Amino acid sequence: MRLAILVLISSLAISPSIAHDRYSKEECSIVKAKIRHIYSKMRDGYTRAQGERLEAKLRKLRKARQKKC
C-alpha cells in the first residue's frame, strides 16, 4: 500500500516537468524541417568529414524529436 502511494505521488510530481519538456507544434515542425534539409544535403553528395557532421546533426535532431515531439 505504501509503495502504491509513493508511486502515485512521485508520478504526480514528475508529470508537470515532463509536460514542460515537450516542444510546441511549431518547434516540432522546425526540427522536422531541419531533418528533411539534412537528408536533402546528403542526397547531393558529401565528403567523409561532411557526412560525419551531417550524421551527428541528424542524431541530435532525431533524439530531440523522439524525446520532445
Q: What is the pLDDT of residues 3-51, one digit of tens each?
A: 444 444 555 554 444 545 788 999 999 999 999 999 999 999 999 999 9
What pLDDT sits at residue 47? 95
pLDDT digits (tens, 9 = 90+) for 55-67: 999 999 999 999 9
What pLDDT sits at residue 21? 72
In a domain, 19, yes or no: no
Tally the domains of the chain. Answer: 1
In a domain, 69, yes or no: yes
In a domain, 18, yes or no: no
Max CA pair span of the chain: 60
Give dist(CA 5, CA 45) in Å, integer.
Answer: 56
The 10 Å Cβ neighbour count of residue 53 is 13
The 10 Å Cβ neighbour count of residue 33 is 11
What pLDDT sits at residue 16? 47
Q: Could you list the residue range(s) of the whole structural domain that residue 32 is in? A: 24-69
In a domain, 16, yes or no: no
In a domain, 53, yes or no: yes
Report the predicted TM-score, pTM, of the whole model to 2 decimal places.
0.64
3-state secondary structure at position 1: coil
* Residue (of 29, 2, 25, 22) closest to 68 by Cα position: 22
